[in-house]
Amino acid sequence: MTKLTRRDVLKAGTAVAAVAAGLPMPAVRAAEPIRIGAVLPFSGGLELFGNQAKLGLDLALAEINGAGGILGRPVELLYEDNKTDPKTSVERATSLIRRDQVLAITGPITSNARDAMMPTMSRSKVPLLYATNYEGGGCDRYLFAFNTVPNQELEKLLPVMKQKAGTSFYMFGADYVWPQKMFATAKTLVEGMGGTVAGTEFTPWGVKDFAPVIRRIKESGAKVLVFALPGADGITFIKQAEDLGLMKDVTVAFLGFAETYLGAFGPGKGQNMWVTVPFAASLDNPAVHDFVQRATAAAGGPVPVSHYAYTHHTALKAVKDALEKVGKVDREALVDGLEGLSFGTSVGPISIGAKDHHVSMPMFLAKTEGEGLVVVDQLGVIAPNAGCS
């Protein structure tokens, strides 16, 4: 009996997604496929983000192929597990480029994995479709960012925190480039509106006991906790913060929050945490309702549908629009087609910068309430300060 690899299983999942979404398996599969690689974490601690990315990509794949593919050719997604590791990310990307001759790659999740991959992407002239919120400054002909940069996430959120909770802020997050750059931007914004930063701390991955830092945050007297610790570590921290009473003393501005966290903190916990996001499943919008229904159908049952699913779905749909705009399929054509591209999504129109390759998009202020993420304010389209010279 032939042993299936993880790659085989993930690849087969795209066909399952098409069936679950109620889309036909098209005759266009007879044509040479357009191969897109996906380097994402399916192990190593950030699986919830990798799985959300896959949810959005699989849905977009089923929709594209169900509508006849791109310029008469089917799209094929080739998934690789980067194990939440930069070195593995480079190895997987190199394999997709050399062995599979992919048109482009989407992923990864962490900034250090993206930074590790970009020299390979640029040298090989293969576009990287990066759909995770990040710190900005990724400026390259072959890099396109489909999620938020600091100003899009912080400029509207922090004034609300000051108004609702107080002027003293504490910042705590993982010790890598995204939290570091987010906190640097946050410090400038906080001080610019007359607030103070009571403390800033970073933690390595895998910490199990956050009691000492929770105590320091409480003792600082801060009223707002700007929080940037993703994945399982972030869930562990919030659970311990609840148990030790910190959540009664501070209001959390949770950077990078997504619906995947909901329910992870325990009954009645993790309430009144504030976020700004480019998508929320609870938006009272027929197009959003339809997107969520299609995503859950493709998944085969109820699952969270977060902005990570939305932005990765958007990235693959952008490939279709870009290639059809220029009328041919190759890597340089994809870059040319993506530059300056505008198109509709379930939350409204977005546009890709012709020079900086970052996305202007609608943004939403929301908070955790009950078992959901409730949208408090629709902020309109916010342009990115990409950090490109």
Q: What gap in Å lies between CA 230 and CA 326, rounded to an integer? A: 38
In tens, the pLDDT along 109-129 reads 999 999 999 999 999 999 999
Q: Other CB atoms closer than 10 Å to residue 278's CB: what's the count?
A: 25
Q: Full-prediction pTM beyond 0.85?
A: yes
Residue 26's pLDDT is what?
42
Mean pLDDT of 315-335: 98
Residue 1's pLDDT is what?
37
Where do runs of H (alpha helix) occur along the chain?
6-20, 47-66, 86-98, 111-124, 150-154, 157-164, 177-192, 211-220, 231-243, 286-299, 307-326, 331-338
In tens, the pLDDT along 274-295 reads 999 999 999 999 999 999 999 9
Find the range with the poorest average confidence among 14-28, 257-271, 300-314, 352-366. Answer: 14-28
Helix (H, G, I), strand (E, B) or coil at 199: strand
In tens, the pLDDT along 223-270 reads 999 999 998 899 999 999 999 999 999 999 999 998 888 888 888 899
Pairing between β-strand 143-145 and β-strand 128-130 as defined by DSSP bridges: parallel
Q: What gap in Å lies between CA 180 and CA 173, rounded to an integer? A: 8
Residue 30's pLDDT is what?
62
Identify residue 138 by its one-letter amino acid code: G
Give residue 16's pLDDT band: very low, low, confident or very high (50, 70, 90). Answer: very low
Residue 2's pLDDT is what?
37
Per-chain mean pLDDT for the chain? 92
Pairing between β-strand 251-254 and β-strand 359-369 as defined by DSSP bridges: unpaired
Residue 301's pLDDT is what?
87
% the chain with pLDDT above 70: 92
Helix%, strand%, coil% for the chain, nearest 5 = 45, 20, 35
Best CA proximity match to 282, nearest among 344, 364, 227, 160: 364
Contact 384, 149 (CB under 8 A): yes
Q: What gap in Å lies between CA 308 and CA 344, rounded to an integer? A: 17
Give residue 45's pLDDT band: very low, low, confident or very high (50, 70, 90). Answer: confident
Find the range with the poorest average confidence among 8-12, 314-318, 373-377. Answer: 8-12
Best CA proximity match to 181, nearest among 122, 138, 140, 225: 138
In tens, the pLDDT along 53-109 reads 999 999 999 999 999 999 999 999 999 999 999 999 999 999 999 999 999 999 999
Phi, psi of 318 (to 5 degrees): -65, -35
18: pLDDT strictly greater than 90: no
What structural domains and CATH numbers belong to the chain? 6-148+286-357 (3.40.50.2300), 151-277+365-382 (3.40.50.2300)
In tens, the pLDDT along 128-161 reads 999 999 999 999 999 999 999 999 999 999 999 9
Residue 46's pLDDT is what?
87
Instruction: Count CA atoms within 13 Å of residue 165 on its CB side.
Output: 27
List all residues 6 or more positions away from 81 whose beta carbon is below 8 Å from its beta carbon: 6, 40, 41, 42, 43, 50, 88, 92
Helix (H, G, I), strand (E, B) or coil at 364: strand
Top-confidence range, 41-45, 267-271, 319-323 = 319-323
